[in-house]
């Protein structure tokens, strides 16, 4: 009787031990695998070699893309309104996340996130009768920057912005110009098309307007002919990228762009 009881107790303990071992094995399988020191050292060496591998002349673009796929799981980009500020979040393989703020090019001064502070600074500079070079130095010292990914201010850039804000010395009155029917001064046509005057001037130089003439007397304004049809054509052209226009002109398949033979540059 006693022997039978001892045998039952022994079997129960053996069964409990086996169950405990099985549970421990299941627990170990559910835990992440621990790397050995040798494996950790190999991974560190590989990580330190990535910059050299990325910049190597023998590394192709396809291989660089594959590197990115291996080390990055997701990238999230968020723009602050219409400003130049862009927030980038990167989720790396392994669970680490990093954040960065980058600057994108914008087309207008008013899109800059610090535009109100820039206007206030220019107002103070104008009240102090500072020169253009002194204003540029002040703007750089206070961390301001122009749009369109330009790194530094120029004198013409500062003067133009101050004129736009009504600061500084008033410009002399514009000379009276006799315009024929459907003729426009270049700045006036640029405003009508809602585009920068510099861009429209580049169109004149490239032959992307039908007729243009430049005055011989200072300030040598450009006068551009544009009737209602030409205005509509230019508006459509405004919505297209310069590379696309050049490609279509090269293929001879773009009816919205005037051929160079129609471009006329004369002086009255």
**Per-residue model confidence (pLDDT) at position 174:** 59
Is the C-alpha dihedral spanning 13, 14, 18, 21 positive or negative?
A: positive
> Residue 268: what pLDDT?
43
One domain for residues 76 and 128: no
235 assigned to some structural domain: yes
Domain that holds residue 243: 183-266
Q: Domains in the chain: how many in total?
A: 3
The pLDDT score that the predictor gives to residue 242 is 59
pLDDT for position 144: 92
Does residue 199 sit within a domain? yes
Q: Which residues of the chain have pLDDT under 50?
A: 255-268
Question: Rounded to whole angstroms, how far apart are CA atoms 222 and 263?
Answer: 13
The reply to whether 159 and 215 lie within a common domain is no
Q: Is the pTM value of this prediction over 0.85?
A: no
Using the 3D structure, point to which of 164, 193, 211 is the last residue of a domain: 164
247 lies in a domain?
Answer: yes
Are 205 and 262 within one domain?
A: yes
User: Cα(104)–Cα(124) distance, rounded to whole angstroms?
Assistant: 28
On whether both 114 and 89 belong to a single domain, the answer is: no
Number of Cα atoms under 13 Å in the Cβ half of residue 153 = 25
> Is 253 a member of any domain?
yes
Instruction: Answer yes or no: is 44 within a domain.
Output: no
**What pLDDT shows up at residue 263?**
42
pLDDT digits (tens, 9 = 90+) for 97-124: 999 999 888 888 889 999 999 999 999 9
CA pair distance 115, 83, nearest whole angstrom: 10
From 104, 125, 147, give the residue that closes a domain: 104
Q: Is residue 6 part of a domain?
A: no
């Amino acid at each position: 009787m006693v022997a039978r009881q001892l045998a039952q107790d022994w079997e129960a303990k053996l069964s409990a031990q086996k169950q405990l071992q099985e549970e421990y094995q299941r627990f170990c399988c559910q835990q992440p695998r621990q790397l050995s020191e040798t494996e950790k050292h190999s991974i560190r060496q590989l990580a330190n070699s990535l910059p050299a591998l990325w910049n190597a002349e023998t590394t192709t673009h396809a291989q660089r893309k594959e590197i990115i796929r291996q080390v990055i799981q997701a990238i999230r980009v968020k723009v602050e309104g219409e400003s130049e500020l862009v927030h980038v979040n990167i989720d790396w393989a392994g669970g680490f996340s990093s954040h960065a703020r980058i600057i994108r090019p914008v087309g207008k001064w008013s899109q800059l996130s610090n535009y109100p502070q820039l206007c206030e600074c220019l107002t103070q500079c104008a009240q102090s009768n500072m020169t253009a070079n002194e204003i540029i130095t002040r703007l750089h010292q206070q961390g301001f920057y122009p749009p369109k990914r330009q790194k530094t201010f120029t004198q013409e850039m500062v003067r133009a912005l101050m004129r736009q804000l009504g600061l500084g010395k008033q410009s002399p009155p514009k000379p009276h110009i006799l315009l024929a029917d459907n003729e426009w001064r270049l700045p006036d046509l640029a405003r009508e098309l809602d585009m920068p005057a510099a861009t429209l001037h580049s169109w004149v130089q490239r032959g992307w307007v039908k007729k243009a003439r430049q005055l011989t007397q200072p300030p040598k304004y450009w006068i551009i002919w544009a009737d209602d049809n030409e205005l509509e054509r230019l508006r459509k052209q405004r919505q297209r990228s310069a590379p696309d226009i050049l490609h279509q002109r090269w293929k001879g398949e773009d009816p919205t762009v005037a051929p160079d033979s129609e471009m006329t540059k004369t002086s009255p």
